[in-house]
Amino acid sequence: MLTQPLLDKLVQLRLPAFRDGLQEQERNPQYAQLSFEERLALLVDLECTRRHDRRIHNRIRAAGFPQPASIEDLDMTTARGLERRFVLELAHCAWITSHLNLLVLGPTGSGKTFVAAALGLAACRSDHSVRYYRTSRLLYQLAQSHSDGSYPALLASLDKIDLIILDDWMRDPLTPAETRDLLEIFDDRFGHSSTLVASQVPVADWFTRLPDPTLADSLLDRIIHNAHRINLKGDSQRKKRAASSMPST
């Protein structure tokens, strides 16, 4: 019989799955046919699996994705500009391990956010830390951090994230202060972490939306030249979803 002190100690040791598995082994007589080593291995595997699942769940929750999206749900037809082999290769996350960037480009409604969130989820499943930001909201957070003195701490926290997703990139022209803040982030991350940038603005137009040519060269050099690209095409995905949801008459 299992004693309560033993079960309590397993909780104190933060082994809840081990504890649950041990109780299940006691209830089920079929486990008696296994050796001690086999039963112990099952308990260790259960604890490891439970911890892994919990860690991935926490990573997904912390990422802050704006909508549920996964690689399995992507419409990878040629007309959309998505090459299946390339997307599946990106989903294996070697580009993140290699500290490269990814640009997801396309017109309004083409599904950039969905693609970004799907690849972000794939990164979480591969045990990478991920954060999703609309660029305007991150810029606001950076501006606020200057006011309250938390700017260094915010930069340090961003530097530790394996993949940052910046959506609606360059939607609005940047101020010199915003450009400097973004340059600080990309300076810190260059060569040891990855950024996914989603934008409806063509890369060729980014330079003109930055206020200072020197800052523009420095910032874009850290984003573009070590980045893969996805160029989305086709009709607005929002219009398609709205049309499919309309009742037929």
For the chain, the three-class secondary structure string (H helix, E strand, C coil) is CCCHHHHHHHHHCCCHHHHHHHHHHHHCHHHHHCCHHHHHHHHHHHHHHHHHHHHHHHHHHHHCCCCCCCHHHCCCCHHHCCCHHHHHHHHCCHHHHCCCEEEEECCCCCCHHHHHHHHHHHHHHCCCCEEEEEHHHHHHHHHHHHHHCCHHHHHHHHHCCCEEEEECCCCCCCCHHHHHHHHHHHHHHCCCCEEEEEECCCHHHCHHHCCCHHHHHHHHHHHHCCEEEEECCCCCHHHHHHHHHCCCC
CATH architecture for residues 64-236? 3-Layer(aba) Sandwich (3.40)
Domain range list for the chain: 4-62, 64-236
- Measured from the Cβ of residue 3, the count of other Cβ atoms closer than 10 Å reads 8
> So what's the pLDDT on residue 8?
86
> So what's the pLDDT on residue 17?
84
> So what's the pLDDT on residue 242?
46
> So what's the pLDDT on residue 249?
45
> So what's the pLDDT on residue 246?
46
- Tens-level pLDDT at each residue, the chain (249 residues): 667 888 888 888 888 888 888 888 888 988 888 898 988 898 998 888 888 889 999 999 999 999 999 999 998 887 788 999 999 999 999 999 999 999 999 999 899 999 999 999 999 999 999 999 999 999 999 999 999 999 999 999 999 999 999 999 999 889 999 999 999 999 999 999 999 999 999 999 999 999 999 999 999 999 999 999 999 986 655 555 544 444 544
Q: What is the pTM of this model?
A: 0.83
> So what's the pLDDT on residue 243?
44
